[in-house]
Amino acid sequence: MVARSGVSRKRWLAACVTLALGAAIYLLAVDLFQVKGLKLIVLEKQNSALLEKIDYINEKTKLQAERLEELQMRDNTVYRPIFGMDEIPADVRNAGYSFAGRYDSLQMFANADFLTQTLRRQDIIEKKTAIQSRSFDDIEKIATHLEDMSRSIPTLFPVCPAGVNITSQFGYRLHPIFQSVFFHSGTDIAGRKGMPVYAAADGVVREVKSSNAGYGNEVDIDHGFGYSTRYAHLNSSTVEPGQKVSRGDQVGTMGSSGRATGVHLHYEVLYKRQQVNPRNFFDSKIDPKTYMTQVRPAEKTSK
């Protein structure tokens, strides 16, 4: 009886230990699941907060992109033209955005497409901003030479307005010799033979030509900043190639050399090697006395 009672007690103790272990394991498992559940809840809240922040970043990025587009438009239509600069083409502003393989590491995350789209937008804005920044740097360099630029724009009427007439304008006209319609690339100013012809702006004499055909005796001046002027059908020139001239320095005298029907100056303004209308630059109605204070005839012009 004593032996059987001992065996029963051992079994009872073993059962108690087993139950206790089972209860402990159960409680531990419950705790683990609760902790796991709590962590999951926290992570979900954190993920939701992050997604809200990314969504906010996307909204701010969209606003930045719109403001950048406004700057680009002003840059191309206002700032650069003021200084005679070409606009930056769209294919240059939008170049180099392949980003191949740049965002592959994001594919391991949930909402990978959302993250990729956000970072891609940021990268594009960064590149466009860099291009815009360089454009402003270029404008700043030009602006520092604004006074030089103003002296390079051909604004002076090339002859004294007293006793002269503009006989042919820029544009299509009936050619006085060939009697056919041709494009006239300058302005013809009729006057007296030997009248002084003056440089319309500061510059360097690029060419001095002498011919019995075409433009006849001709002086071409490079003014810089894309501007140049041509003085044709001269009777004579008073400058040499490579000579620096200032606005109002005499460069020649009016004549009828080359293919001309009478004494006149054929005057051209070129911007970036393209003829433009000279009337957009000079004032032919300036008072002759005022005009003569702005010019220097040959005897007062130093070569």
Summarised one tens digit per residue, pLDDT across range 10-34 is 676 666 667 666 666 665 665 555 5
Q: What is the pLDDT of residue 75?
A: 83
Given a cut of 90, whether residue 66 has pLDDT beyond it is no
What values do phi and psi take at 197, rounded to 5?
-115, 135
Report the C-alpha gap between 175 and 232 in whole angstroms: 16
pLDDT digits (tens, 9 = 90+) for 206-221: 999 998 888 999 999 9
Residue 292 burial by CB count (10 A; 0-12/13-18/19+): exposed, middle or buried?
Answer: middle
Given a cut of 90, whether residue 68 has pLDDT beyond it is no
Q: What is the pLDDT of residue 23?
A: 63
- Return the percentage of the chain with pLDDT > 90, whole number: 34
Q: What is the pLDDT of residue 301?
A: 46
Report the C-alpha gap between 265 and 164 in whole angstroms: 10
Average pLDDT of the residues of the chain: 81
Task: Report residue 223's pLDDT band, with 50, 70 and 90 as the boundaries.
Answer: very high
Beta strands in 58-161 (DSSP E): none
Which has the closest alpha carbon to 251: 229, 271, 278? 229
What values do phi and psi take at 236, rounded to 5?
-160, 160
Report the C-alpha gap between 222 and 251 in whole angstroms: 13
Report the C-alpha gap between 33 and 27 in whole angstroms: 10
Q: Which two tokens stand for residue 198?
A: 């003056």
Given a cut of 60, whether residue 226 has pLDDT beyond it is yes
Report the C-alpha gap between 170 and 275 in whole angstroms: 9
Which of the two residues, 137 and 293, has the higher pLDDT score? 293
Task: Report residue 185's pLDDT band, with 50, 70 and 90 as the boundaries.
Answer: confident
Q: What is the pLDDT of residue 240?
A: 96
Q: Which two tokens stand for residue 103?
A: 């965002």
Number of residues that make up the chain: 303
Which of 20-34, 41-55, 59-73 has the least mean pLDDT?
A: 20-34
For 156-300, CATH gives 2.70.70.10
Q: Which two tokens stand for residue 240?
A: 């040499």
Task: Report residue 136's pLDDT band, with 50, 70 and 90 as the boundaries.
Answer: confident
pLDDT digits (tens, 9 = 90+) for 107-123: 666 667 777 777 778 88
Q: What is the pLDDT of residue 44?
A: 62
Question: Mean pLDDT over residues 252-260, rounded?
Answer: 93
Task: Report residue 2's pLDDT band, with 50, 70 and 90 as the boundaries.
Answer: very low
Q: What is the pLDDT of residue 303?
A: 43
Q: What is the pLDDT of residue 155?
A: 93
Domain with CATH 2.70.70.10 in the chain: 156-300
pTM: 0.58
The answer to whether the beta carbons of residues 132 and 71 sit under 8 Å apart is yes
Q: Which two tokens stand for residue 121?
A: 């937008």
68 Cβ neighbours under 8 A, 6+ residues apart: 125, 128, 129, 132
Q: Which two tokens stand for residue 99?
A: 């980003």
Residue 123 burial by CB count (10 A; 0-12/13-18/19+): exposed, middle or buried?
Answer: middle
